[in-house]
Amino acid sequence: MEKRYYFFVLFFCTALLSACKKEDKISFDQPKREYDLAVEGGINTLTRSQFIKLSKPSLNPGVMPAAISTAVVIVNDSKSDIIFKETATPGLYMATNNHSPNYDKAYTLTITYNEKTYTAVDTLRQVINIVDDFLPLKVKINSRGSYDGTIPKHTFGYLNPNKWWINYTGIPVWSPSKFDGIQHYNYTHFLGSPNSLYPLNNLKRDFNLLSQDVITIYKFSLSKGYARYLYDVFLETDWNGLFSSVPVNAQGNVSGNAQGYFYVTDIDLRKYKAKEL
């Protein structure tokens, strides 16, 4: 009787371990929609060089998106065309913009690829100078005489939506041609925060600087359409918790069977010493 009991326990444990091993395998559902292309980048007022990246979205988590070459890329700023040319990096297109900013006007992107045309429109909103706005960070002096700072990734309830890039020792300067790697943006939203079930607590970065260390702050204006798009993206990524609702399925502004958001942004740039913040 005792042998039968041990045999039963051994059989049960073996079956349980076998079931656990099967559950260790992670499966990914195929995307419900296959896009022709994805658009990243846009027009900014800080640099003359402008960059737009085109790629073919991947359908496999182990495969990187493929670069899209030989496309015709043009942006019209409601006055004249800005012609983009593909760089030595496949899928990365660059243009030189010598035009003055056309505030509150539409900028229209037109992409021609594989005998199809895709368009996107965004409006250039003038940025409010950094000195006339609240900085989305906190800095205080510690007992050692250096400065401790905290930069939350998201803050809410601002009158105007903005994107920020704050760099100091260890954080690179902002570059419009940088699309890969870690992006050090943080955001001020005109919409309210998602409900308390979303995990917002750890979305921040901390730093420690000496009094004479320099912090460079870039502030980017956002159209309301782009701000809404980013908010929807974060509902699927940063704020996607255990009790989250059905995915938002963020919709960009590119027509046709494409994804992404073509943006235009006005930028203010300021430098401060840590003791000045």
Extract the runs of DSSP E, i.e. beta strands, from the chain.
Answer: 37-44, 49-56, 66-67, 72-76, 81-86, 92-96, 106-113, 116-123, 138-141, 147-152, 154-155, 162-167, 185-188, 204-209, 214-221, 258-260, 263-265, 267-273
pLDDT tens-digit series, residues 7-19 = 444 444 554 454 4
Least confident of 58-72, 93-107, 162-176: 58-72
Name the pLDDT band for 245 (thresholds 50, 70, 90): low
Residues 238/173, Cβ–Cβ less than 8 Å: no
Measured distance CA(208)–CA(143) in Å, rounded: 12
Residues 124/102, Cβ–Cβ less than 8 Å: yes
pLDDT tens-digit series, residues 183-242 = 899 999 998 888 655 555 578 999 999 999 999 999 999 999 999 999 999 988 888 765
Measured distance CA(200)–CA(217) in Å, rounded: 23
Q: What is the CA radius of gyration of the chain?
A: 24
Measured distance CA(275)–CA(272) in Å, rounded: 8
| Residue found by looking up tokens 């041609």 in the block | 177
Sign for the pseudo-dihedral over CA of 190, 196, 201, 202: negative
Could you give the percent of the chain with pLDDT greater than 70? 83
Q: What is the pTM of this model?
A: 0.84
Give the pLDDT score at 201: 59
pLDDT tens-digit series, residues 22-54 = 445 455 455 567 899 999 999 999 999 999 999
